[in-house]
Each structure stands twice: as structure tokens, then as C-alpha cells.
Amino acid sequence: MVFSVPVHVQRKTTGNIHHVKCELEECCQFHLFAQRSGLPFSQCEHLRSLDYCHDTAFEDILNPIVLDEMVALKFFGNEKKAVCLKRQKAARAACVPFSVLVEFGGSNKQITLSIHEPTIHYYSRLGRVMVCYNSTDGNWHCPCAKARTSCTHKNIGKWHLFQINRDLFKTGPSKSADAQTMQVGIHVPNIDLQRSVQYVFDEKKIPAFLPDAISKPKSLLEYPTQLCPVETTCTFCSEQTVLEMPLLVTKKAKIATMAGVMHDVWVYTRRCPVCHVLYRYQEWQDGLHNFDNHLFLSLELCLYLRQGLQNHISTSRAINTLEGLRGVQYPNRDSLLHGYLHFEALTDNDYSYSCVNCGYHPPVVIMDLHKKGVFGLAVSDLKEPPGEFKGEVDIEQFWRSVCLEMVARGFFPSRAQNPFSVEPTYENWAPWIGKHTRKAQIVLNTEYEKVTTSKSAPEEAQIINLSEDRLVDELMKQKVGVVRKLCRACNIDSRGSRMDMLSRLRAEMRTRQCYDKIFQKIWGASGGWSVILCPHGVVYSLKFNLRAESPRDYADLLFSWRHLPNVSVYDFARGLATHGNLRMPSSIPFQPHEGRLAKSTQENIDSAKQGRLKISLPWLTEKSENPSPQSHPVTGSADHYVLYDRLHESNTKDPQDVLRRINLVPELQGWLNSQVVEQFFANLRKSNYFLNNMAASTHIFMMRNIVHYKNTTTNKKILELQLQRGHRSHDIANITFSDLGQSPQ
């Protein structure tokens, strides 16, 4: 049964002033139309239905003592408690019911409350809002807030329900998304479902390159109407225990395809009688992908959604297009998105993140930050890591946990019940670096050291100086009202012109605490993506910053590599060369002159400014004949330089930084496109409208996935161009690569 949310109406026809209103915009337009047509007494169906209403709703007087108990149980904090009490006082002053339980529709799982709203909004035209609670999955809905986002009305609703029926908030064993647990009366403990999730992830991989026959278009009649797991014995039990007979999950499953939606599919599961692990249908060979036993996606649809994401088309827009084209209603958009992510989590991609030209260890890289690519995150929610944490994270284990969360969404009905959910923390947050490029499975992420301490204050002050220019640039783009509000939030004088306020804010940004506050107000979320690319535009490292950017982020990535690049191009070059290696004082990766191309003498500086200084690095084009033991495997050189991006050469204030210019190196002139990273960001920026609205784990999983396919496409174009120029007819799939991951030149 589809549950309908009640509608507020008002019909007062006694006294001098009459009020006959319905809160729906469609009904308001109908009443205006009726008046213009000379029918002022015409009413919508909602107002007419009052003729059949004989019951009176009574208000439950909410007790403030219950709020104290809820604060103690961590339902919400004292600030939200104070807002609830303030709203209750406002309702009493207006002589209107504060919160009323609405008995509607006979639903035992969907509970609705009418809550007073003192301010008129589009969602509260009559001064009230309808708040709904689904007792099955624990979800709240309020028209004033997004899903899974708290609001005052939801808090009042929790207060009301906790007072009249606190059993609703008791947590029991998590239930599977499989309706089998209800239909056949079998209880599946949480631990057994977790084993099922891991079994599907480890044993039901989908090939990275699907056969054409599997993903080709099919009519709805070609898909099976009954789906049952192929397993007959338990893989967890040592004695090859025979599974129980198939049990019916549902007769109403749907298959979403490019041709439309197939309904009334029968789905079965099987269970081990000894260890109770549940087995379900998960066979890609039939051209289907099972998400949650109720929704199946054709592999053709999954590939269509993948191509849409590569062209900046969100899953919901792609489905809307299909819906309009086919004239049929597709399943819920969120379910389809999670079904697609489930498909990608099971796809056996290698995520190699390397260029066929540069190999696993590029000698030249370009680094930058995509500051507009973020996910919602409050810095205050990040807890300091344990004292023994040294910034070392297991990259494989972290990304396996992210993939397991995507798979588990097909087994657990909500994220709150998903035991595999991944939340951002300093000690469990890893970048992605290809397995051949990185030094080991343990990589560095020292973002916790960005937090100001007495020990790190000098370093942090220098780092902030490097990046505050960026933040000021963003502040300059904000409206005066936004800047004024930000000044108040930072306890800064908000009077005067925009420039006056910006000057005060810039002075306050000298401290990390104020810097983070301003950063979060402007970007409102995480610290963007730190990216390292090769000159051909292939991404080698991707780091999702929890806090504002600093050279530390790139130092973490580079020190996690097996071989440091000889030339690193970065718009904060001096910061990386001088501050990035403070974390590892025993390692000296750059030249004694801090990664500059030449010694910092006045003669060299003057020559560089006049364009007369040339520093040849011949090993960039031809490997050194006598490589040293610590040399780069591609160039044979152990030299390391940090140069400025051409766009930011003029932003440097230190005269010595003229010795970091790319045009001083003949081997890089006319070849190195230092703007390749900006071009990469310009392309990805078109996808921010849906990526930035995702939860943290969903955001990073999809981002890594999108970049993987972009890398694959870039490498394919490079190989095709090489074959065309060489007049070769070889198939790309048959090309062999060197031990360093480079294609034949």
C-alpha cells in the first residue's frame, strides 16, 4: 500500500471573518480559477471531505521532563532541546495545538504528526507541518528538510512519540532487506547477513569487461520470471552441508531495463541449516544484477548509467530520460542509484591508476586541489585519533570496507542499520593510489596533524599563509551579506565595507581554528580532492581531504609512492619543498636548495628573470647511463625538483622562486602542459551537482570509480594514437607492457 501524507485544510465559516483554505498549491490555484469563473463557493476534494469528518483530534501535552531524558540518551543536545521548548511556548501563546497525533490510513508502521510552525513557509501555509515516521526502517520525513537531515519538527516528533510509545525507539536485531524474514518466519541474525555480504563480495565478482552477448539489448520477454540461487551446498561449512529448500522472498520483484520495467518476478533464497548463512540469486551471466531481491537491473542499464556518469548525467536524470522515452514508471531513484553502486562494487576493476606512456612511476607530475568537489562534513565532528596513531592507514582494507558498504546496502534496509557503514575519521580514511605505484599497502594520511597544537603551530602558520590567498579569492566572490554574517560567526567587527571586513577576516586567518571555521563556512564541507596527474592527464593519486588543503596532503601521497617523481609541479611549490617533509625528517627527497632548479644566487636569480638561465635535465628524454642506487627507474636520476604551475608563477613573493619556473628547463618547454590538471577539474566540475550531495562514503566510491573509467578512456586514446602513427594493425588488447607499466614506443 502506498501511504498518503495527510493535508492540512481550514474551514471556518462562522463569525465575521471566514477562513476556507487548503495548503496544497494545486488546490489554491483551483480556488483562484473558480473565483475568476464566478464560482466562489467551489471547493477542492480535501475541503469537501470535511463534511464526512466526525472525529476530533486531541493534543497530547508534551512533558519537558521527557526532553531531559532524551538529552541524556543522546537523541539530541541541549541546544535542540531549548528550541523545542521555545516552540512549545510559542504554540501556547498562539492558543493552538503544539503537536497532534494524526490517526490516518490505518497504517501501523507509518505514524504522522501535525506540528505547529509559527512562520509561514511554502511547506506550512496554514502554520502547521506534517511529520511522518516509518517505524519499520526508522526513517523520518519532514517537508522542510532533506532525508536523513535533522530539523526542529522531527525533534518535536521524536519528543511526542518517545513520550507516548518509547518502545518504537528500542533497537532490535537488524532485518534483511529480504522480505523472507517476514514471509517464512525465519529470523536471520545480523552476523549471518554480514557473512552473506562478504560471500557475495568475494565470490560473485562481475568481470571488468563483459561479453557483448551478455550486455546486448533484450526485450522484457527474454528475462526469467523466477530467480533462485544456484548454490546447493554451503561454502562456509567444512562438510559441504546441503542447503535448505528454496524459500519464496517475493512475487512482486521488478527488473529495470532499457526497454522498460518487468513486474511480478518471483524471487527465492536458500539457507544453510547449520550456519544459517543466506544465499541469494546473484548471477551476472543471465544479464541481470540483483540489488536487494526486490529490484534487479539489467546489465545493459548498468552500463548505460555508467556512460551517463562519464558525461556528467546523474542517475536520476538518466532514469528520467528513460521514463519519458518509454512512457513507463521506473522504480525509486535512490534504489536505482544504490543498485548501480552495488553493481560497480562487485565489478572486478583493478583501479590501476597509471598511464600507458609514463608507466607506474611517472618522472613528471602535476598536482592541484579541486576545492569545489566536497561532501558534507562538520570539522567539529572529527575526533582526535588515538595517541598511538602515526598517520599510517591500510589502503586495501579501507577501500574494501567502502565497497562492502555499497554491497551491504542490498541486504540492510537503511544506512543506520548497515554494520558496514564507513564514517570519516582521521585514523580510518585513505587516499587511492594504484597498487604498482604505491610503496606498500600501508599509506600515509597525517591530516590529524593539521589540528593546531603547540608543537605544530609554527608549521601550521606557514601552511595557512600558503593557502589563505585561495580562501580570500573565494571570499571576494561572496555577497556582502555572506561576508558580514561570517564576520559575526568569527566574532569579528562586521561594520564597514566589504574590503574592511575582508581585511579583518584575513588577519584572523592566521590561526588554524579561525581558518577552518571560515573554510567550512565558504565550502561548507570537506577539504576537496587533492589530485596527482601525469602530463597526459591520467590520475595517479586521489585524496579526499577531511580538512582544508595544505602541502601536507601532497607530501602524504608522494611519500606513499614507491619512487618519488623527479619533477613535481604544484602551485604551492615552496610550501611542499620546505614544509611537506617535516613529518619525515630522516628522508630528504629534494635537492639541498629546496627543490629549486639552481642555487639561490643573485646571479642565477637575475639570469632567470631575464630569460637567460637554462637548466638542462637530459635524463627526462633519455635515461641516464650511470644511474645511482636511489635513482628513478625511468630517468636514472636521483634529483628532485618542485616547480610552479605557470598560472601561479606571478603569485610568488619570494624572489628565489623564479628558480622554480618550468620555462627554465628546455626539455619541458613546449611539451609539459601544466594546465592538464585544471582541464581535468573543469571537466569534473560538471558532475559536482550530484557528487556534492552524496554521503561521504558514496561520494568517494563514485569519484574513484568515475576517475577509473576516465583513466581507462585516456589510456585507450593514447594507445590508439600510437598504433595509428606506427601504422600498426595490432589489437589494443594484445599490446604487451614493460615491467614499469609502459607500452612499447
Query: How far apart, in whole angstroms, are the C-alpha atoms of residue 216 and residue 301?
Result: 10
What pLDDT does 587 receive?
46
Give the 3-state secondary structure of residue 209.
coil
- Count CB atoms within 10 A of the CB of residue 150: 13
What pLDDT does residue 353 have? 97
pLDDT for the residue 611:
86
Give the Cα separation of 240 and 477 in Å (integer).
Answer: 66
Q: What's the pLDDT at 680?
A: 94
pLDDT, residue 178, reads 42
Cβ-based burial of 320 (10 A; exposed 0-12, middle 13-18, buried ≥19): middle
Summarised one tens digit per residue, pLDDT across range 536-571 is 999 999 999 998 788 889 999 999 999 999 999 987
Closest CA to 336 of 280, 288, 296: 296
**pLDDT at residue 82, rounded to an integer:** 92
Segments of the chain with pLDDT less than 50: 1-2, 172-187, 453-466, 580-588
CA distances from 189 to 183, 236, 422 (A): 16, 16, 21
Query: What does pTM read for this prediction?
Result: 0.72
**Residue 585: per-residue pLDDT:** 39
CA distances from 699 to 435, 695, 705 (A): 22, 6, 10
Joined grid coordinates for residue 448: 590529524
Residue among 161, 140, 142 nearest 60 (CA): 161
pLDDT of residue 548: 78
The reported pLDDT for the residue numbered 404 is 97
In a 3-state reduction of DSSP, which class is residue 532? strand
User: What's the pLDDT tens digit per position in 298-315?
Assistant: 999 999 999 999 999 999
User: In this predicted structure, what is the pLDDT of residue 97?
Assistant: 93
pLDDT for res 503: 79
Q: Are 519 and 527 in contact (CB under 8 A)?
A: yes
Please give the grid coordinates belonging to residue 694: 552524496
